[in-house]
Amino acid sequence: MSLNQGEARRLIRGLTRGTTIPDGVRFIHVGYESWLSAQHEVLEELPDYNGSETKFVKGHYGMGKTHFLHLVQEEGRNRNWVTAHLECQRDEVEIDRFETLYPKICMKLRFPHSDECPELKDRSDPMVTLIESWVSVVNNSAGVRDQALRRPVDAASRVYKELQKRLLTPKLTSDFKEALIALTMASLKNDIDTKNLLYGWFKGEDRKIQVPEDYLRQPDGLRTADRGK
């Protein structure tokens, strides 16, 4: 990542005000080597076991907490992580009320710097882009592309089996799993209305939704194949 003249000026102005900006923070950073090394190690290891970590950064006003967090976020994006940075007061978030936290995370998602993720180029609605990317990965893994139009039952069966494999993890709630299944199956049928309802749900909109039960059932073709075994 290079720094252009305008970005350099913004960084310098931020320093004169005693504030920091996320982009380009590594160009004005010194120190914290051991802390950053520890966080780099965490970012390196988490994908190996599909895990998660919670860390707290404690310090007095002006000691560089936000600066440090921006550095970790920048490193995460360089490693193809999707990140979000929130501040409780500015973003009107109450850390102990998830219903205030989750929608703001969805709004402030930032995608990786790397060109290895071309499917994440659309930044206009990051949560939708992220979910669409996941659905595309599922379909590709199931071998479903334009075949879905010619053999819809076969396509639905293969996609459903792929979803079952990917959603075995106990870390996801049943509602979240069902929403992912319904969205993926709705995408196969190009059901725009259901997809939009589910996008809103994933983004934390405060409303209850209903999706067609058929999207949550095992496809007929798959049930027949299972009975044949």
Query: What is the reported pLDDT for 56?
Result: 84
User: What is the structure's pLDDT at 82?
Assistant: 87
Contact (Cβ atoms closer than 8 angstroms) between residue 156 and residue 219 = yes
- The residue type of 166 is R
Whether residue 115 contacts residue 94, with contact meaning beta carbons closer than 8 Å, is answered with no
Compute mean pLDDT per 10 residues along the chain, 229 residues long, and list them. Answer: 72 70 67 80 81 80 80 84 86 87 88 63 78 90 68 81 85 88 91 93 87 84 40
Residue 226's pLDDT is what? Answer: 40
pLDDT for 229 equals 36
Greatest Cα pair distance, the chain, in angstroms, is 73
| 61 Cβ contact partners less than 8 Å away, ≥ 6 residues apart | none
Question: How many whole angstroms separate alpha carbon 206 and alpha carbon 106?
Answer: 14
Residue 197 is predicted with a pLDDT of 93
φ, ψ dihedrals at 60, nearest 5°: -75, 165
pLDDT at 113: 66
SS3 56: coil
